[in-house]
Amino acid sequence: MRIAKRSELSGNQIALVRLAAVFGALVFGGLFLIVLGENPITIYISMVKGGLGSFFRFRETVNIAIPLLITSLGVMIAFKMRFWNIGAEGQIFMGAFAATYLALNFSDLPKPLLLMMMGTASMVMGGIWLVVPAWFKARFGTNETLFTLMLNYIALRWVTYLQYSLWKDPNAMGFPKIASFGQNALLPKVFDIHIGWIIALVLIYAIYVYLNHTKTGYEIMVIGESEDTARYAGIDIKRVILKTMFLSGAVCGLVGMIQASGISGTLSVDLTGGVGFTAIITAWLSGLNPVMVGVVSFLFAMLRQGGSFIQTAYQIPASAAEILQALILFFVLASEFFLRYKVVLFKKKGRGI
């Protein structure tokens, strides 16, 4: 038995592999639910209802999907160049830090101006946070995976210090929290959902055009395929790396502003909810396609919201709901292997075979 790389699959074949993965996940998840004494069909239907069954549940699903979608777009830009940005969590935190500084100190500014300043500051800060490892990668060839991962913890500790010490709200009765934003610093709502969903849709279109219909997008693709080819073609690799990584970090940094201004109303250590790591998975599952990022992110959000719903409705332990979600995720991720490789069975020539 050996593993061989597949030839290019057709769209129908890819769809069949993914459907088989989903079916396998549902079967194994169903067996797990039976062990718990639950009816799998009832639970699965309830998960869908928990994510989409009412406007309130749909709104919560969208609120989960927005940061996941935008962060996935951000890391996807870096992944296109084979730059492994594992530091989205840190970029989100630092973007939120910059936006919070403006929200707390310039709350008297007109709302549109303040929100624009917060958004710009969050993008600049997130971009700078990723440009640092990008510069070291371009200049010294350092390992960007470890570099960006370690920066996550620096950003987390910085926000922790702000929340528990430097920016601790003196009016919070000793509770470690940063003061809440004023009304001018809160994102407006459209259809009772903050406008982050509009920003997300605009970013899907803008990044699709940028990657597929611009000179820089072409350069990113060439560098991702082969730096030697890019160098032979006369592409300034260091310049493209720094510019692209700034954009990647800026998109992730914007998530910090959206979460702080649209959901939390302040900065806290719980701001990201691990979305920076989940976005790595959704970006890969989308095939690094901006449009598919939106679809995959929404399905992940629905899975998470549905899992929360069945915990309450059926008194299923949180750990059990997480195991169910992990089983589904495992099968979907496993399907990516079979899209790229195949297992070849063969017999050895010789005695007894």
pLDDT of residue 216: 93
**Assigned CATH for 66-315:** 1.10.3470
Q: Reply yes or no on whether the pLDDT at 300 is more than 50.
A: yes
Which residues, in sequence order, are bridge partners of residue 178? Answer: 168
Residue 18 predicted with pLDDT over 50: yes
H/E segment holding residue 86: none
Query: What mean pLDDT comes out for the span 5-10?
Result: 75
Task: Dump pLDDT digits (tens) for 46-55.
Answer: 989 999 989 9
Question: In this structure, are residues 75 and 88 in contact, taking their beta carbons and an 8 Å threshold?
Answer: yes
Amino acid at position 139, single letter: R
For the chain, give the percent of residues with pLDDT over 90: 61
Q: pTM of this prediction?
A: 0.91
Across 218-241, average pLDDT: 90
Q: Give the C-alpha separation, 154 to 291, whole Å.
A: 32
| pLDDT, the chain, mean | 90
pLDDT tens readout for residues 264-293: 999 999 999 899 999 998 898 888 899 999
Question: Average pLDDT for residues 209-224, to the nearest whole number?
Answer: 93
Asked if 79 contacts 85 with a C-beta cutoff of 8 angstroms, the reply is yes
Q: Are 75 and 248 in contact (CB under 8 A)?
A: yes
Task: Tell me the domain boundaries of the chain.
Answer: 1-38+317-353, 66-315
8-22, 56-70, 209-223: segment of lowest average pLDDT: 8-22
Give the pLDDT confidence score for residue 335 in this predicted structure: 81
